[in-house]
């Protein structure tokens, strides 16, 4: 028997395994394509975070924007702390807001005379946070329900204490329980290219009624509409779509048989 050959084979085996099982496993990992020896570097993680932030800001600017509800003016449909998702494409391709739509708009020139001045950097940060639904919206941004479009005659209240649009009584089931349609009487014709908007919690809402005697009459120009609030995205227990009301289905267009 060739004992020398056996010793030689043992020597080769022991030499190849002198570094232990851990070294062998590391060697295998290094040889497997696509397996990184370490996790994401801080630089790559930072770039990924910045990229995600930029993507969300672009999505918010052009498609869907989260909007934090800051007040009780739209109860019961929307509660303080809700994040609604505003569909910014709803009126981009020729469509216009309809009666009953819940819209977010810039109230500069209609609800607010001038945008408040402030620190530019702080304003930029706050604006970015608001665009992601992480902070309250700008003081010039509002959410209300459309009750009159261009050419409509909107009256409140009729003999039965109801809102009337183009001569037709509107059954506003979305109004906060116990609220009257309006404690402020009005009879207005909505100028073309504008909207007349009210909050659902009428006794807690500052809306078009409060600006009737001011320049612009509290009417919201169409080009100031940010989009339509279509969904409640947060908190999780309130995930739902905002259902379109049928309250205005019987209302004819401006100049119709009841106008």
Residue 73 among the catalytic residues: yes
Residue ranges in the chain assigned as alpha helix (H) = 3-16, 20-31, 42-62, 120-131
Residue 144 among the catalytic residues: yes
Nearest Cα to Cα of residue 200 among 142, 135, 254: 142
Q: Which letter, b or e, does each residue of 91-116 get, where b requires 16 or more Cβ atoms within 10 Å of its Cβ?
A: beeeeebebbbbbbbbbbbbbbeeee
Report the distance separating Cα 187 and Cα 207, nearest Å.
15
Which residues are paired to 148 by β-bridges? 196
Report the distance separating Cα 42 and Cα 29, nearest Å.
22
Q: What is the DSSP letter of 204?
A: G
Report the distance separating Cα 158 and Cα 164, nearest Å.
7
Q: Is 154 helix (H, G, I), strand (E, B) or coil?
A: strand
Cα 181 → chain centroid: 27
Nearest Cα to Cα of residue 205 among 76, 68, 66, 98: 76
Q: Which letter, b or e, does each residue of 72-85 get, where b requires 16 or more Cβ atoms within 10 Å of its Cβ?
A: bbbbebbeeebbbb
Pick the catalytic residue from 144, 182, 205, 224.
144
Pick the catalytic residue from 60, 73, 110, 182.
73
Q: Which residues are catalytic?
A: 73, 144
């Amino acid at each position: 028997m060739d004992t020398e050959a056996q010793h030689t084979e043992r020597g080769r085996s022991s030499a190849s395994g002198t570094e232990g099982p851990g070294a062998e496993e590391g060697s295998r990992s290094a040889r497997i394509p696509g397996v990184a020896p370490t996790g994401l570097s801080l630089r790559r993680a930072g770039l990924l975070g910045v990229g995600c932030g930029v993507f969300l800001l672009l999505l918010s600017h052009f498609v869907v924007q989260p909007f934090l509800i800051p007040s009780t003016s739209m109860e019961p449909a929307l509660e303080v702390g809700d994040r609604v998702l505003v569909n910014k494409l709803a009126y981009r391709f020729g469509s216009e807001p309809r009666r009953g739509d819940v819209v977010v708009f810039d109230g500069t020139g209609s609800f607010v005379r001038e945008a408040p001045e402030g620190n530019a950097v702080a304003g930029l940060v706050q604006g970015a946070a608001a665009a992601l639904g992480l902070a309250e919206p700008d003081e010039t941004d509002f959410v209300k329900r459309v009750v009159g479009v261009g050419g409509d005659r909107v009256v409140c209240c009729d003999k039965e204490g109801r809102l009337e649009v183009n001569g037709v009584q509107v059954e506003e089931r979305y109004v906060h329980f116990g609220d009257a349609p309006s404690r402020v009487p009005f009879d207005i014709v909505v100028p073309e290219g504008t909207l007349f908007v009210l909050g659902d919690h009428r006794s807690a809402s500052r809306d078009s009624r409060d600006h009737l005697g001011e320049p612009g009459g509290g009417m919201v120009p169409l080009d100031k509409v940010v989009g339509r609030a279509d969904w409640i995205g947060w908190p999780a227990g309130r995930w739902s779509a905002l259902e379109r009301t049928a309250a205005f289905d019987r209302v004819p267009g401006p100049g119709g048989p009841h106008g």
